[in-house]
A and B are shown apart, each in its own frame.
Chain A
């Protein structure tokens, strides 16, 4: 890289602080001019304000609101504090809650065990420079690019019980979207369909970055294709693997769009995110109750975020 000589040149030259030393009678040298400090302060402050205002304050407000029974109408002064009643209701008398937690876990398991490995597998295949690999890449990545409304519509055409493609082909009468024992799998298939393309692209980019000499060395040492991948390529790709893992967890926690397009997250397709939206966003406006659900979701996410940060920081310390 060309910045190496730059650094060495810098080392030879004394710190570029001539302008500040003439004025600065303080004990230590001021290395930054006033403009620099203003600019840097601004650059820290603006993003900080944005993050605090758009992320932390709403999150804190959600936690606070989860202790109230606000219905979204009227001044804030009219909000009544109800303590932990919303949490009590969520756990004890709200029937969709337990299926939602189960479905979220199922979603995570399905993406982690099936979709992600399959996406990685496809990436490895495409990395072999097959003929027409561009075409496969595009075809597999297309679902990620399509708009959600369109995806919901496409799958509605396939899964519809009376008029759908799948039942017409199979000659069956399966109620793909309506039968609560079947619909979650139907949706997981559609979700996996998107997820595979996403992971494939991420992983393919990673594979292209692996130094070819490593593979050559392994081949020279007589390593088979499979063991080259598992013993050499896979460990080298550790940063990408971590990204893929994080993407998978995030995707399953924020899974929402498909079930919402299909039936607004009801009848076997309950997900925590859909329940939050049902309660908060729609006409229902059970802000307090929905906030309690959102807080539960936040706590679950925090567990994964903490685990991730813990791993990454341990990595850095090494």
Chain B
């Protein structure tokens, strides 16, 4: 075949006779134009997608991570209450809970909503220190009904407040009253009693402690409570802050104790979700389950009264059993809200006892942070949970909220799963954690 002698000739060949009648230049120009258009369209798409929310102080936007139906409904009701009380409309942007958490860095550095939902703990202080959250000290001046523990949990490293607590839930050992009554089980007060109870449950054909760690985070709850019981709150905080060595005997003892308890945990936990483990408790196949109060979501309405809990038993009598994980959820303000007055009005409202009352009325699986709220609507379980947290000497937030997120997700999750897989090589595991911790915390 002959080669075309010029580019024009080459191009002419490419045009099938059926369209040859069409001016080829206009065709080509059109194609190039479409390409350019596509390009700019793509680039523009990366920028802002909505500038709604308004510059006037009549609206304020709220980024919500409460994507489950019930909490989502509660947030909507609280925002209705806000509108009735102040006349300002709150536009809620709900994002799936995990997605929200995973995108938080980009979200806060982009164009976040005026007010967004987040957790107390290291991560809140981290954003405050990075200048990604607004100072709420003046809002706190107008809030009432919060204990010092909550104010402390809302304070950044610089002593200013950056967070308004809304709700919290404790981690405890849950069980079904009917099962325990039928078998005559007693709440264990010490580790030995827990072990004996576990042995008895095994004999009775139950999984003593339901357990699931497919998603990686539930085992953090077990580590937290054992560390709090064995080494106390201060050591836990220092360990989470990277100040203590993971290779120390203290941490080793936590894992040794845990390894001793693993036989009374439900086996094959790494392929199970917490929902499945909770259902084994609900179906009376497991005797107890260490989890947050949200375990109640897996129980039917008529079974809620059958659910009870106790705090994890004492391991060391000099430490006691008064500390626990009770993560606090709440609100923060973006660094540059479109309308600071409206945003602060909203934060003041969500921190008020009116907002807390709406939450109490509508959601039985959470506890409100404001002590001024009318808690007569609490279920028996909620009342007991509130008492438990109220009597706690120290409150931790949960491993992935108390330490650097990169450490929690890329080091601790694989490490805890490795431990569950192979509980024998504890010192090798701890050396690996310590090496990675040094590398991460120095960067």
Contacts and interface: CB of A to CB of B under 8 A. Distances in A.
Given A267-B417, A278-B410, A39 B28 contact: yes
Interface string B1-31: 1101111110011001100000001001101
A283 B39 contact: no
A73 B32 CA distance: 38
Nearest to B34: A46
- Of residues B31, B32, B215, B421, which shows the largest number of chain A Cβ atoms within 10 Å of its Cβ? B32
A13 B436 CA distance: 74
Interface string A30-43: 01100110011011
Nearest to A283: B405
B39 A175 contact: no
B439 interface: yes
A283 B105 contact: yes
A180 B7 CA distance: 60
A161 B271 contact: yes
A6 B13 contact: yes
Q: Which residue of B31, B132, B270 has the most chain A CB atoms within 10 A of its CB atom?
A: B270
Nearest to A178: B271
Contact of A39 (B17, B32, B214, B269): B32
B17 A6 contact: yes
B341 to A, nearest CB: 28
B414 A285 contact: no
Contact of A11 (B2, B6, B104, B410): B2
Nearest to B101: A283
B256 interface: no
Interface residues of A, number: 62
Contacts of A89: 436, 439
Contacts of B418: 95
Interface in A61-90: 69, 71-74, 80, 82, 85, 89
Contact of A177 (B32, B216, B271, B436): B271
Interface residues of B, number: 57
A15 B13 CA distance: 13
A93 B432 contact: yes
Interface in B41-59: none
A39 B27 CA distance: 10
B227 to A, nearest CB: 21
Contacts of B12: 6, 10
A82 B442 CA distance: 11
Nearest to B283: A162
A71 B269 CA distance: 32
Interface in A218-234: none
B7 A32 contact: yes
Contact of A285 (B271, B280, B405): B405
A266 B219 CA distance: 14
Contacts of B101: 283
B306 to A, nearest CB: 21
B130 A74 contact: yes
B410 A160 contact: no
A161 B272 contact: yes
Given A93-B439, A161-B268, A263-B215, A284 B409 contact: yes
Q: Which of A32, A92, A286 has the most CB of B within 10 A?
A: A286
A15 B9 CA distance: 8
B413 interface: yes
A95 B432 contact: yes
A94 B17 contact: no
Contacts of B270: 175, 177-180, 263, 267
Interface string B426-443: 000000100110011001
Contacts of B31: 43
A285 B105 contact: yes
Return the 9 tightest CB-CB contacts between A and B, nearest first.
Answer: A178-B271, A178-B270, A175-B268, A177-B271, A69-B443, A284-B406, A93-B435, A175-B271, A31-B6
Interface of A: 2-3, 6-7, 10-11, 15-17, 31-32, 35-36, 39-40, 42-43, 46-47, 49-50, 69, 71-74, 80, 82, 85, 89, 92-96, 159-163, 173, 175-180, 183, 263-264, 266-267, 278-279, 281-286, 288-289
